[in-house]
Amino acid sequence: MKKTFCLLTLILSSLLTACVEDNNPTHDYTTWQTITATNAQTIMEESENFILLDVRTPTEFQNVRIDGAILIPYNEINSRAVAELSDKNAIILVYCQSGRRSASAAADLAALGFTSVFDFGGILSWPYETVSD
């Protein structure tokens, strides 16, 4: 019960304090939230309903990734996300190598209508376990 409350509190506070970006002039405003790796890990531990999205290249993904991540390179978000991430209300945790591409992808996802997008930066600052091929 306490874990669920903590998760709900984190999500609600994140939504209430969401970053506002206007990276695409064809959209009004998009919202998404930057969180820490620790916050992302908490969501992953306490929720079964999230998507862990790696937005790096296929080669980077093969070399090292967070277990359970799916790959959609950041430059393919606009063409693939709606078809591959069908639940626009799902919690989406986005990361890349250092944080630049994940911020761009998070803004694009929000502009596409995804409502719970959380950018936790890069795998370089991920202090938890990773996997590789």
| Contact status, residue 77 vs residue 114, Cβ threshold 8 Å | no
* Two tokens, residue 19: 């970053």
- Indicate the residue type of 41: Q
The secondary structure of 26-47 as a DSSP string is TSS-EEEEE--HHHHHHHHHH-
Q: Which of 53, 69, 96, 123 is catalytic?
A: 96
The question of whether 96 is a catalytic residue gets the answer: yes
Residues taking part in catalysis: 96
